[in-house]
Every structure is written in C-alpha cells, then in structure tokens.
C-alpha cells in the first residue's frame, strides 16, 4: 500500500496553518498574530495506518560515536575539536570545492562578509565564539576557516547560491502523546562522520545532541537538561543582514530553560538570517513551531499533527520573500497528504507511525522524497532521524536513513 492515496490540494488557502497541520483536527494557540479563520477541507474516510517501508541498502552503516565534554565553553570546544579532528578534515575534503568557494568569497571582502558576523557573535554570545575558538584549536584548523564553515547559511545566501539541504519535521500532540520527529538531511559527505555530543557546560544545562563535525550544535536535534527538545529547518529567505548567525542562535537556544526563553534567544533583533525552530518542553508540556525571518517572526503552539519542511508557511511569515525549491515543495506535499491519512485516528499514531511517514520514498518532484537517498544529480541525503517524546523526556535516534530502521535510544547528559 502506498503511504498516501489522496491528491495534494493546491489551493492558495492551504499555504497557511490549516495545510501545515493537515486538517481541522489541528488547533494552535498563537502568539504575535491573530489566528486566521480555520480552513475547511472536504473530508473522506481516514486511511489505515501506513505500512512499514521496505528497507533500502545504503552501503556502509552509519555508526555515530558519542563524545563527552565538560567545562567552560572553550574547554568544551577544545574537547570536541580534538575528538572530531579527523572527521572535520574529512568533511572539509568531502566538500572541498564548496569550502574553497566560501573562503574565496570571504577573502574578497572580509569587512562586509566576515567581520560583522564575528562582531555580532562576540557582542551577543561570546560563549559560542569561545566554543568555536576552542574547537578550532582542538582540531588543529584555522579559526577563520572554522568560523567560515559555521557561516554557511548566511554566506551561501549572500552568494545567491543557497544551500542544497532540507529537513522534514512532524509534530504530534494528541491524547497522551507529544512527539517531535525530524529527518536531518545534509550533504552526503557527512554520512559516516556524524556524532552524538553529551556536553556539560559550567553553570548551564547539560546538552545531548546530534552534531556535524566542525559545526556548533545549533541546527541539529538536541535536548537539554531543562527538558527543552529542539530541531530546526533551513529557510532560504532572500534577505541576509549583518548580525548573529543562525547556527550561533541555535547553539544559544540550547542554554534556555523554557520555550519562552528559547523564543527570546532565537528572535534576537540582531539576527542575521532565517530558520525554523521546533521546540518542545518536557516540564511545560508544550510543543511549538517558531518561524524566524530577519525582520519578522511567527509562532504557533501545535495540537494534533503538524508538518514542516524548508519554507515559511505561518501567516505572519509566509509572505517574506523566500526561495521555495522543488525539494521542500515535494516533501511538504507528500507529508501533508500523508497526515490526512491518519488525522482520523491520531490516538493510534505513535513513534513507529511517524518514522514510517518520514521513511517515505514517495516524491512529487523526484528525487525529493522525505527519506532522501543520494542520486546522480543531488548531494543531499537523510543522515539521521530523531524522535523526541516530549512527555517522557526521551530521545530516540535512527542512524542513517529511517527506512533502514537502525534505532538507538540516546542516553541523556
């Protein structure tokens, strides 16, 4: 049986929260903007639960090492850098042409393409800058190179090239279940080099997260000691400002103790670029989606089932100029259609069902399915799937593509 059987509705009214959520079964308590009138979509009998997706071979299995680090931000950076030094070099090498382009772009005009971002980091989040410096020292790479690596979203937008990336996210808040499930998609060269970090910063909540070598953990599925659980989506808005980079804001969010604190950090008025923050709180029993653009933001608390990919869809942000490519459109259509198949039986939806949805190989614009595999024309792939049980406070990680079913429970720091 196919994962979904219903035609994707393309009317303009579905670009708002009613589409993101699936159907009228979803309700959201909004902040920042008044709620729009609820969408009404003609219903039909719900589909049965999606069947498991047949596993696909992917070559070398992904095995994510766990790295522990304790101390000051610089201490943590040094420890992580030392432990991932070879992985960082391999990832630089795997994307050498792209990395060289970034460096050349910065070197051509550092006063407008590098220095203002560093100044903003130092001004707002010096602890993240200290972590970056430590990571560079521990890994034995040039500090500027590592900072450039962490400015990929901003620099790529300034170069008008955009990142070849995309992640898919599903919220479930129904009955006694509150789950946040996320496909982490990225460049295929990261496949064998991802790690799990367990960080114990002095005076801050401990953090457990997936991590890319050489990047501060500001764009990955993560949970902190205060019970905050987060994931993010890349958003290709056309505006970039000199300010705090999105990876730095994401890293700072992991120091928050509540959803409101996380929102305050993420919506820093000096933010440089766009992103979406999905955040749940075990202590507060809340689940929300925050869309951040350089000048505006919007947030909803999610109820029922809610889908997001890599473009802005909330009423307060969806009109921001952005590039909506084939990848995000295809995955969004597939998953939105899929959740209609379970909206009448949300009480039976659990982690396994959400993973099946994210393991779909269906595509409206091939090869862009929720479960991404390398093709001759693309470099992106699904690197891992994270599932947070917000009520239980647990973190499950599927290494590699979710269709391969390599699940591990992650011990929290």
- What is the domain-level CATH number for residue 345? 3.60.60.10
Answer for the pair 287, 390: CB distance below 8 angstroms, yes or no. yes
Q: Which two tokens stand for residue 368?
A: 């862009």
Residues 249 and 171 in one domain: yes
Whether residue 207 is contained in a domain is answered as: yes
Answer for the pair 240, 263: CB distance below 8 angstroms, yes or no. no
Chain-centroid distance of CA 126 in Å reads: 23
Q: Is pLDDT at 57 greater than 60 in this prediction?
A: no
Q: What is the pLDDT of residue 128?
A: 98
DSSP structural state of residue 360: -
Answer for the pair 224, 206: CB distance below 8 angstroms, yes or no. yes
Counted residue by residue, the chain has a size of 413
Whether residue 115 is contained in a domain is answered as: yes
Residues 209 and 327 in one domain: yes
Q: What is the pLDDT of residue 411?
A: 94
Residues 148 and 170 in one domain: no
Higher pLDDT residue, 164 or 81? 81
Sorted by sequence, the CB contacts under 8 Å of residue 282 that are 6+ apart come out as 227, 228, 229, 390, 391, 392, 393
Q: Is pLDDT at 20 greater than 50 in this prediction?
A: no
Q: What is the pLDDT of residue 160?
A: 80
Q: Which residue has the tokens 């799990």?
A: 196
Range of the domain at 116: 73-158
Range 188-225 burial, b when 16+ CB lie within 10 A, else e: bbbbbbbbbbbbbbeebbbbbbbbbbbbbbbbbbbbbb
Residues 82 and 176 in one domain: no
Q: What is the pLDDT of residue 146?
A: 97
What number of helices (H) and strands (E) belong to the chain? 13, 15
Q: CA gyration radius for the chain?
A: 20
Q: Is pLDDT at 323 greater than 60 in this prediction?
A: yes
Chain-centroid distance of CA 163 in Å reads: 14
Chain-centroid distance of CA 216 in Å reads: 13
Whether residue 68 is contained in a domain is answered as: no
Q: Which residues pair with 292 in a beta bridge?
A: 275, 297
Percent of the chain whose pLDDT exceeds 90: 79
Whether residue 67 is contained in a domain is answered as: no
Residues 188 and 208 in one domain: yes
Q: What is the pLDDT of residue 267?
A: 98
Whether residue 5 is contained in a domain is answered as: no
Q: Is pLDDT at 59 greater than 60 in this prediction?
A: no
Q: Is pLDDT at 26 greater than 90 in this prediction?
A: no
Answer for the pair 168, 278: CB distance below 8 angstroms, yes or no. no
Mean pLDDT of the chain: 87
Residues 254 and 319 in one domain: yes
Query: How far is Cα 246 from Cα 102, in angstroms, rounded to an integer?
Result: 17
Whether residue 2 is contained in a domain is answered as: no
Whether residue 63 is contained in a domain is answered as: no
Helices (H), 2-125: 17-21, 73-83, 85-94, 96-108, 110-113, 115-124
Higher pLDDT residue, 361 or 1? 361
Q: What is the pLDDT of residue 96?
A: 92
Residues 355 and 245 in one domain: yes
36-40, 292-296, 400-404: which has the minimum mean pLDDT? 36-40
Residues 178 and 246 in one domain: yes
Q: Which two tokens stand for residue 265?
A: 């950090």
Q: Which two tokens stand for residue 153?
A: 């979203």
Mutual angle of helices 96-108 and 85-94, in 10-degree steps? 90
Residues 118 and 170 in one domain: no
Residues 131 and 189 in one domain: no
Answer for the pair 195, 87: CB distance below 8 angstroms, yes or no. yes
Q: How many domains does the chain have?
A: 2
Nearest CA to 180 among 336, 339, 351? 351
Q: Which residue has the tokens 């059987």?
A: 5
DSSP structural state of residue 343: G
Whether residue 307 is contained in a domain is answered as: yes
- Answer left, alpha or beta for residue 203, where phi above 0 means left and psi between -120 and 50 means alpha: left
Answer for the pair 346, 183: CB distance below 8 angstroms, yes or no. no
Q: What is the pLDDT of residue 58?
A: 52
Residues 35 and 137 in one domain: no
Answer for the pair 27, 345: CB distance below 8 angstroms, yes or no. no
Residue at a domain's end among 124, 141, 158: 158
Residue at a domain's end among 126, 158, 190: 158
Residues 151 and 250 in one domain: no
Q: What is the pLDDT of residue 51?
A: 61
Q: Which residue has the tokens 């990680």?
A: 397
Q: What is the pLDDT of residue 393?
A: 97
Percent of the chain whose pLDDT exceeds 70: 84
pLDDT digits (tens, 9 = 90+) for 132-174: 999 999 999 999 999 999 999 999 999 986 665 689 999 999 9
Query: How far is Cα 78 from Cα 139, in angstroms, rounded to an integer?
Result: 7
Q: Assign 353 a pLDDT band (cuts: 50, 70, 90).
A: very high
Residue at a domain's end among 124, 158, 192: 158
Q: Which residues pair with 65 in a beta bridge?
A: 195
Q: What is the pLDDT of residue 375?
A: 84
pLDDT digits (tens, 9 = 90+) for 182-217: 999 999 999 899 999 999 999 999 999 999 999 999
Q: Assign 6 a pLDDT band (cuts: 50, 70, 90).
A: very low
Query: How far is Cα 143 from Cα 138, in angstroms, rounded to an integer?
Result: 10
């Amino acid at each position: 049986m196919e994962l979904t059987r219903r035609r994707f509705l393309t009317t303009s009214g579905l670009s708002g929260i009613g589409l993101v959520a699936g159907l009228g079964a979803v309700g959201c308590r909004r902040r920042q903007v008044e709620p729009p009138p609820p969408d009404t979509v003609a219903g039909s009998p719900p589909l049965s639960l999606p069947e498991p997706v047949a596993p696909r071979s992917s070559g070398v299995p992904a095995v994510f090492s766990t790295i522990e680090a304790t101390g000051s931000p610089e201490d943590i950076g040094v420890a992580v850098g030392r432990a991932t030094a070879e992985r960082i070099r391999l990832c630089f090498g795997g994307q050498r042409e792209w990395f060289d382009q970034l460096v050349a772009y910065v070197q051509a005009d550092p006063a407008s393409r590098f220095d203002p971002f560093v100044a903003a980091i130092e001004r707002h989040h010096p602890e993240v800058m200290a972590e970056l410096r430590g990571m560079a020292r521990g890994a034995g790479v040039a500090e500027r190179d590592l900072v450039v690596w962490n400015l990929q979203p901003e620099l790529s937008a300034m170069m008008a090239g955009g990142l070849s990336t995309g992640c898919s996210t599903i919220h479930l808040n129904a009955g006694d279940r509150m789950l946040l499930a996320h496909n982490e998609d990225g460049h295929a060269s990261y496949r064998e080099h991802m790690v799990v970090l367990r960080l114990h910063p002095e005076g801050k909540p401990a953090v457990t997260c997936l991590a890319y070598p050489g990047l501060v953990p500001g764009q990955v599925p993560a949970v902190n000691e205060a019970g905050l659980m987060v994931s993010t989506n890349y958003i290709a808005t056309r505006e970039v400002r000199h300010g705090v980079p999105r990876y730095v804001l994401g890293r700072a969010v992991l120091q928050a103790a509540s959803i409101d604190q996380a929102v305050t950090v993420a919506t820093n008025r000096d933010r440089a670029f766009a992103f979406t923050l999905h955040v749940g709180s075990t202590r507060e029993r809340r689940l929300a989606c925050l869309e951040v653009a350089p000048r505006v933001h919007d947030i909803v608390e999610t109820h029922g089932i809610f889908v997001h990919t890599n473009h802005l869809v909330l009423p307060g942000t969806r009109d921001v100029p952005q590039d909506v490519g084939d990848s995000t459109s295809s995955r969004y259509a597939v998953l939105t259609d899929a959740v209609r198949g379970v909206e009448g039986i949300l009480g039976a939806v659990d982690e396994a069902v959400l993973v099946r949805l994210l393991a779909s190989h269906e595509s409206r614009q091939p090869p862009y399915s929720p479960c991404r595999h390398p093709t001759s024309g693309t470099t992106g792939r699904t690197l891992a799937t994270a599932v947070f049980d917000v009520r239980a406070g647990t973190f499950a990680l599927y290494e590699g593509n979710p269709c391969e079913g390599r699940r591990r429970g992650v011990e929290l720091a």
